[in-house]
Amino acid sequence: MNLPATTKKAIIVGSGIAGIASAIRLSLKGYQVTVIEANTYPGGKLTAFEQDGYRFDAGPSLFTMPQYVDELFELAGKNPRDYFNYIRKSSTCTYFWDDGTRLEASADNKRFAQEAAETFDIDEKIIEKRLHKSQLMYELAGRTFLEKPLNQWSTWLTRDVAKSLFNLNRLSLFSTMHQDNKKLLQHPKMVQLFDRYATYNGSDPYKAPGILNIIPHLEHGIGTFLPVHGMHDITTSLVQLATELGVEFIFGTRVEEILIIKNKVKGVQTASGNFFADIVVSNMDVTPTYRRLLPAVKAPERKLRQERSSSALIFYWGVTHSFHELDLHNIFFSQDYKKEFADIFEGRVPADDPTVYVNITSKDVPADAPEGCENWFVMVNVPQHKDQNWEELIPQYRAVIFKKLNAVLKLNLETLVESESTLTPLDIEVKTSSLGGSLYGTSSNSRYAAFLRHANNSKIKGLYFTGGSVHPGGGIPLCMLSAKIVSELCPTP
């Protein structure tokens, strides 16, 4: 593909997935793009590693909305399948409760409703109604408010917005996720199952607005997918595309300051010298961007002081056994969900009874673990890092997790773990500059959270923001959309 000749330069600070996607889009728009990354590798949280013969995706483990990845290759005139391949899962997740209840959630909505109705002795039409409402919410509001900047009049003066406003009563704006689910689903276990989608943006379903119940549609309406070479393949394939388009990546170089002269961006300063550009896009968490890189700029304190999202404590276990009852995604629920979320957002650790998520890619990619073994990515939601001693908390959480999993699976899991490493909120903060290790920037624990999230542009000419800490939010699909918004906001060179 022949790109337009240009002398206009763009610098991306950070090579998280949104930074890479922004680089691709700006290159296709006509900019000469340089990505400067403090780490020696790309991807931010979306990385991978190997230990003792096991391969692990270090960060995000759920892949939805693959069309946003495919779109980048298609925009470049490439066939996505020449770079990146994935499969659609026939089930979305397997759920376990302490009383022995188990439910495999089929990716086929009709089958899921039937099996859930049989498991919980409820009318399947109740579940179908929940799924239909999630789809309706997405169609009425999801596309408009996730794919467009909320601080631009052009977003609001459209038929789509008018249609959304006309249907406000159907969007559950004035109830919480939990209230909306309780009203529709009635059965406490089904309510808990759908409440869990608040964790997809690090929020509390007892506080987050009901409109976030659009999230289940991404799984049940569109599907869950698995890259055939692991989640990290999203990063490597997009870096390959960006490089082919002429994007320059500079690794192991930390940006120290974004240079501003007369309210206009001029480039960035690093220890090895200055890089000048017409636009700068920060893929760094917006709070440290202001605190560290924009020392002379008045920060939007109200936005930066918002409640942060939850973080995660992750154990990477090499397990010398194969479990037929487990799938790619598995959830072991706590008995008191409300208390669990209260503990997380009030900073109490360790939780007495955390919900445990187990991801096992070797179920679909046998090469990710030795024969007869499995690679377990085990995660619990925890508060952001403030002053906790995670080295002391790791064995406490490990004991709680073993106790929970052993009770459900009827074994002594600790005797099967032959390889282990951990990732704490402090590790996440150090490796990715996410304040406190918060996975999604700010939480959505108020009905106004979406409107208080930092925009993708700024009052400084030529300065833009992308990634999970700004609009429209965290997670791979929303980070992809933030890159799209940035590219549309940037002027054509």
Query: In CATH, what number is assigned to the domain containing residue 240?
Result: 3.50.50.60
The strand pairing partners of 279, in sequence order, are 10
Say if residue 3's pLDDT is above 60. Answer: no
- Start-to-end C-alpha separation, the chain: 18
Tell me the mean pLDDT in the region 388-417.
Answer: 96
What are 471-482's pLDDT values in tens digits? 998 899 999 999
Q: Domain boundary residue among 223, 243, 265?
A: 223
Q: Domain boundary residue among 202, 223, 244?
A: 223
Number of domains in the chain: 3
Say if residue 351's pLDDT is above 90. Answer: no
What are 76-126's pLDDT values in tens digits? 999 999 999 999 999 999 999 999 999 999 999 999 999 999 999 999 999
Q: Return d(Cα 53, Cα 415) in angstroms, integer.
A: 18
Tell me the mean pLDDT in the region 43-50.
Answer: 97
Return the number of other C-beta atoms located less than 10 Å from residue 201's C-beta: 25
Residue 166 tokens read as 């006309």
Same domain, 126 and 151: yes
Assigned domain for 394 exists: yes
Residue 352 is predicted with a pLDDT of 87
Same domain, 204 and 182: yes
- Highest-pLDDT range among 132-136, 345-349, 422-426: 422-426
Assigned domain for 95 exists: no
Q: Domain boundary residue among 223, 242, 266?
A: 223
Assigned domain for 37 exists: yes
> By residue range, what is the domain housing residue 418?
307-432
Same domain, 247 and 235: yes
Helices (H), 37-187: 67-75, 109-120, 124-137, 143-147, 153-156, 159-166, 177-185
Say if residue 443's pLDDT is above 60. Answer: yes
What are 208-229's pLDDT values in tens digits? 999 899 999 999 999 999 999 9
What are 6-17's pLDDT values in tens digits? 579 999 999 999
Residue 34 tokens read as 């340089």
